[in-house]
Structure 1
């Protein structure tokens, strides 16, 4: 993986893991009012989408179990879960493994064309492996901001219910 891409992957993932490490476990499955997903869902979604964009759209086999697609793909919600989701610790472990795996498997070929262009849910089309990876870093940042917002909102709500 080219140096600047590797550094960017490390930076974004370090930020994500820092927030994950400081997320109160009791907040992980709460869904703030007006939203449809939880903090756990957002962390799992980051992991799942990164895997999809790094491997699956490039025609390669992903490395996560099918549970990640069932629980964390776009359009899913904890309200629909019929199975126990991975713990935050399990998601963290997979994130660490994923970062190293991506750096090893994408040491070159970032400019390679995808087997077929990939258009994401919001209509943006990618045609190279590198383009998909760059977008995945942006996507991770968006969901990291959502997680931070959820934590602030949940802490505020908890503080307000503690008042006499």
Structure 2
């Protein structure tokens, strides 16, 4: 039963990832970098943020091996914004490639660690994430939330382009 649950969670994550990647491949870089009035971040930032937070939740916190560029945390981590970008900002195409790679690495995560307790819980008020599985579930939620932001930003920017 547990193995079925784990496989179901990975399938949900993969479906969300595939949907995101398909949407991103249809977006021009100029659209991705535009930050509409009233929004804190650009579509490009949201893509990097999904990649970065997934990497933190699924690989860095549970101590799984990763070759993730740690400077991404300074670019796309919680509380950052694209107006603070200075240099070494990966292109949208690079981020998409890294999301594809991340999906493959998530598929390879071993089921044995799903219920392992973290050294310290990750506190995200009102949540307290205490196991690798809880981190994974939050990653699914977080990715879906930001995929929605990306879709909204895409529509707003594309509508504005048509009107201009």
- TM-score, scaled to structure 1: 0.90
Quote the offset at 1:60 in angstroms. 4.1
Runs of 5+ consecutive residues of structure 2 not aligned to the other structure: none
Matched, 1:146 2:162: no
Matched, 1:127 2:130: yes
More deviation, 9-18/57-66: 57-66
Alpha-carbon distance in 1 for matches of 2:88, 2:37: 23
The residue number in structure 1 matching 2:28 is 24
* Alignment deviations for residues 11-34 of structure 1 (CA, whole Å, 9 cap, x no partner): 010011011111122111110111
- TM-score, scaled to structure 2: 0.90
Consecutive aligned runs of 4 or more in structure 1 exceeding 2 Å deviation: 59-63, 105-108
Matched, 1:157 2:150: no
How many equivalent residue pairs?
A: 160
Quote the offset at 1:115 in angstroms. 1.2
Runs of 5+ consecutive residues of structure 1 not aligned to the other structure: none
Q: CA RMSD in A?
A: 1.6
Quote the offset at 1:127 in angstroms. 0.5
SS, match of residue 23 in structure 1: coil
